Amino acid sequence: MTAAKILEGLADGSLPPSEFGHAAHLRVARELLLHAPLAEAEARFCTLIEGYVRHLGAEAKFHRTLSIALLRLTAARLRPGESWAQFQAANPDLFANARGLLARHYSAECLAAGRTQFTPPDLLPLPA
């Protein structure tokens, strides 16, 4: 599925939940970052995901700090002209061990506290 179709499905609520796993989250983050400054991409990312989970009646699945932190890690790894396939190949840890990457920045307690509002990391700063 293309990034545009995923974005469309998030916006109108038609995306099947089975199609919105971790890789799709990263694909949406990357797509938004390619077309907007970081702050705007963060806001749109959160708005899209919050609206989507609300549409599904699964509001508890949204975690603001986790979403923003993964978007920032994605932003730090973007390379000009890189395709989605190239991005995936260059960042296997982001796809296979995102929790491990986040554990470098956040203690479990700090991350847990950031479900509804963004919480800055308590261990290592996120890329800006």
- The answer to whether residue 117 scores a pLDDT higher than 90 is yes
CA 39 – CA 103 distance, rounded (Å): 23
pLDDT given for residue 32 in this prediction: 97
Note whether 2 and 44 are within 8 A (CB): no
User: In the chain, pLDDT over 90 holds for what percent of residues?
Assistant: 97
With 0-12 CB in 10 A as exposed, 13-18 as middle and 19+ as buried, what is 17?
exposed
pLDDT given for residue 1 in this prediction: 87
Instruction: Indicate the pLDDT class of residue 128, thresholds 50, 70 and 90.
Output: confident
Instruction: Indicate the pLDDT class of residue 93, thresholds 50, 70 and 90.
Output: very high
Note whether 93 and 100 are within 8 A (CB): yes
- The token duo for 54 is 């609300």
For 5-50, write each residue's pLDDT tens digit: 999 999 999 999 999 999 999 999 999 999 999 999 999 999 999 9
pLDDT given for residue 39 in this prediction: 96
* Distances 121 to 26, 29, 65, 102 between C-alpha atoms, Å: 20, 19, 9, 9
* Residues 69-77, mean pLDDT to the nearest whole number: 97
Note whether 102 and 111 are within 8 A (CB): yes
Kindly give the residue spans of alpha helices, DSSP state H, lying in 57-91.
64-77, 84-90
- The token duo for 51 is 């609206």
Instruction: Indicate the pLDDT class of residue 95, thresholds 50, 70 and 90.
Output: very high
- The answer to whether residue 107 scores a pLDDT higher than 90 is yes
